[in-house]
Amino acid sequence: MPDKGHLDRVKNGRQGSVRSSVGPCSEIGAVWRDAKRRPSPGARHNDREREREKRLSPISINGSGDAPRRASVSVRPIQIHTGSPPLNSASVTSPLFATSPPNSALFGSPPAGSAHSGGRSLTASHSFSARVGKALAPFPINESPVKILLLENVNTAAVDLLKAQGYHVDEIKSALGEQELITKLREGGYQAVGIRSKTKVTAKVISEVPSLLVIGCFCIGTNQVDLIAAAKAGIAVFNSPFSNSRSVAELVISEVIALSRQLCDRSREMREGIWNKVSKGCWEIRGKCLGERARLQIVGYGHIGSQLSVLAEAMGMSVLYYDVMPIMPLGSAKQVDTLDDLLGAVDFLSLHVPELPETTNLISDAQLNLMKDGAYLLNNARGKVVDIPALVRALQSGKLAGAAIDVFPSEPAANGPNFGDALNTWATELRACPNLILTPHIGGSTEEAQSMIGAEVGSALIRYINYGSSIGAVNFPEVSLRPILSDGTVRLCHVHLNQPGVLKIVNSILGEHNVEKQFSDSKGDTAYLLADISHVGEAEIKEIYEAISGTRSNIATRMLF
């Protein structure tokens, strides 16, 4: 009968839990534990007892507060490195566990004068006390951890998660320019980079950093990353599409109230010593407003728009929304067919759409002229969605009674007195407009939102690095398999061109082996395949890797175990 510890591990594995009980399996540090390797005959337990002890007593590395159960598991690991081999070690060359970017580029550079055949140097050491997560014993933490660079003050929730996996995490509080980023990533040999909204990961960065495996955007938007170039290079990009939804929705509600009561103007006047107690042009948002019920128009009814809808209705507002897709409303909100038909009927227009060619200057002179006199515009989406000079004209003429802007076409790379005409030529004119709320892109800047974003994106990076799961990737086919629960099984992660005949070639290579499970999907020109192969040894793993990574359609290939 299976022991309770084993059943618990199987249960956890089926649930796909990655939170903290996952041990990492990476292309730069993996251990193949051959079933034939046994402790010496002089050990005090017999074979059966030793095997049971190895299953039940790993050192648990987790963040859930569980007390670790100690055991020393002696194995002979294969440690991959990109620098000079350590002393007293036998070096061999192999492309095992590698991610093979286009043109067979390597992670880092091989040691000077070393021989290699399209792979990276492997060092065979003699003993290693493996630290294993409770759920997935085949994924031990290796002596050569994955290297991750986090920029722009990524929340500590992500840092803690990643470090708990045994990854090497470096942090930089500010954004980096293009060349600075290239230099830092290349010199550090990083496999993953985490950014927020200011750092730009361009096609040049992607092409010049062959070690890069995955990008984490610790925010909603991904327009700061060249998604097409990343997909072509086999690099998955993850973001956090809803973790800051509540924070942004609450900011919008606060802006609606502040605008309707002209709070910013009254506050500025008081700071200047002016007492100006007036009620003209100030309104309640519940009940009557501008001659009818206060109406909030939401453009984009996704995670943020729907949250805003619920909050607005709770405060007595009626909600209309426009979206390019038919979406079931929450509460009493009503969807309309076109944007133009609605502009003249609403008091508050709030934008929540992505930055796309179709949404650039979505609100310009024509749309502003269709809005009712005395209406309000709120943009907490993307800076290029609103034509700012047109907005300035509407505010100066009195067409709009006020506006709230949290995002801008060009934003400073760092805090400080940087929001001026040198960055945006209309900045001075905009700042002089009446009843205007300007904020420095703080929609998701709350402790709660940043913690949830850190946990969400951090977990996505872990799932991709450890298991090859691309669920949630914005530029990649979404593919996942349940975790490996047995020794002697290797996972193939194969990114390839979306072309006819590729699976036929791959399956002909895998046909001589026992494929336990396999899943493939495609998105645009990129396809992604995961396959678990059991009962294979080191020589067979190397053979499979070389055959598949050598196909003409190959973009990137990893093998995890």
Contact 340, 281 (CB under 8 A): no
Q: 250, 269, 313, 411: which is the annotated catalytic residue?
A: 411
Q: Is the dihedral of CA 131, 133, 134, 140 positive or negative?
A: negative
Q: 196, 266, 382, 513: which is the annotated catalytic residue?
A: 382
Q: Say which residues have a Cβ less than 8 Å from residue 294's Cβ, sequence separation at least 6.
A: 283, 284, 285, 286, 287, 288, 316, 317, 318, 347, 348
Cα 122 from Cα 280, distance rounded (Å): 76
Pair of tokens at residue 515: 């494929």
| Entry field: residues in the chain | 561
User: 3-class SS at 341?
Assistant: helix
* Strands (E) located in 109-258: 120-124, 147-151, 168-172, 192-195, 214-217, 236-238
Task: Decide if 441 is catalytic.
Answer: yes
Query: Helix 245-260 crosses helix 263-271 at what angle (to 10 degrees)?
Result: 70
Helix (H) or strand (E) holding 400: strand 400-405
Q: Say which residues have a Cβ less than 8 Å from residue 205's Cβ, sequence separation at least 6.
A: 178, 181, 182, 185
* One-character DSSP codes across 292-309: EE-EEEEE--SHHHHHHH
CB-count exposure of residue 555 (10 Å: 0-12, 13-18, 19+): buried
Within 137-244, where are the H helices? 156-164, 178-188, 203-208, 227-232
Task: Decide if 382 is catalytic.
Answer: yes
Provide the phi-psi class of 472: left if phi over 0, else alpha when psi is between -120 and 50, else beta.
left
Contact 134, 58 (CB under 8 A): yes
Cα 214 from Cα 293, distance rounded (Å): 49
Contact 198, 177 (CB under 8 A): no
**Would you name the residues annotated as active-site residues?**
382, 411, 441
